[in-house]
Amino acid sequence: MSSISFKFYYDLLSPPSRALITFFRVANIPAEPIPIALRKGKLAFGVLGEHLTEKYRKEVSRFPTLPCINDNGFRLSESVAIVRYLKNTRGFDDFWYPEDPKAQALVDEYLSWTHNNIRMTSGLYFITKWRTPILTGQKADEKEVALVLATMKWTLHAVKIATWTPRLWLISTTR
């Protein structure tokens, strides 16, 4: 990849931020890191952070959310959209995101599916078991924890059987 870089707004507390940081590092994609603090700011509907300010919405991310990039004035959030945009504008190794329509579709399938499954259920588990008790000072409701743990295990199991041997992880077309 060329040395052309972009601004990268992230917080290590944010799972998709960590995914992009890891990806940029292993795929050797240069980005200018700008940390944003999700633990600061107001709490609304279980969401809090510096990114909920009017300034952030106007200057960084329209939705507003994290992670986000600014590529010479072009602002884009959502980790999946960012990876696809960088593939289309910079190009990087096919290994990370394949150009073959069927292989790409199977990666897209997982990247769509994960939002309301792995991401949602593991986030709910973390919030129920750890974040809410830390924020409120009250013990977690163990019945609720057991329920969100069971749904998280269910989604992890779904990935396991979807990608079972002899399938080649996500993109085997021989399944």
Distance CA 49, CA 43 (A): 7
Q: Which value, to the nearest 10 degrees, does the dihedral of the CA atoms of residues 29, 109, 15, 116 take?
A: 160
| φ, ψ (nearest 5 deg) of residue 102 | -75, -45
According to the binding rule CB under 8 A, does residue 156 interact with a second copy? no
The size of the interface with a second copy (CB under 8 A), counted in residues, is: 44
Q: Judged by CB under 8 A, does residue 109 bind a second copy?
A: yes
Q: Is 80 in the site for a second copy (CB under 8 A)?
A: yes
115 binds a second copy (CB under 8 A): yes
Find the shortest distance in angstroms from Cβ 170 to a second copy: 10
DSSP code at position 38: T
The alpha-helical segments, DSSP class H, found in 63-174 are 79-89, 101-113, 118-126, 132-136, 142-162
Nearer to a second copy among residue 21 and residue 111 (C-beta)? 111
4 binds a second copy (CB under 8 A): no
| 158 makes contact with a second copy (CB under 8 A) | yes
Tell me how far apart the alpha carbons of residues 47 and 125 are, in angstroms, rounded to a whole number.
15
Residue 78 C-beta: closest distance to a second copy, Å: 4
Under rule CB under 8 A, residue 128 binds a second copy: no
**Segment near a second copy (CB under 8 A); pick from 33-41, 126-134, 138-146, 155-163:** 155-163
Q: Measured between alpha carbons, how far is 139 from 161 in angstroms, rounded to an integer?
A: 35
User: Residue 18, SS3?
Assistant: helix
Interface ranges with a second copy (CB under 8 A)? 44-45, 57, 62-65, 74-82, 84-85, 88-89, 101-102, 104-106, 108-109, 111-113, 115-117, 119-120, 150-151, 154, 158, 161-163, 173, 175
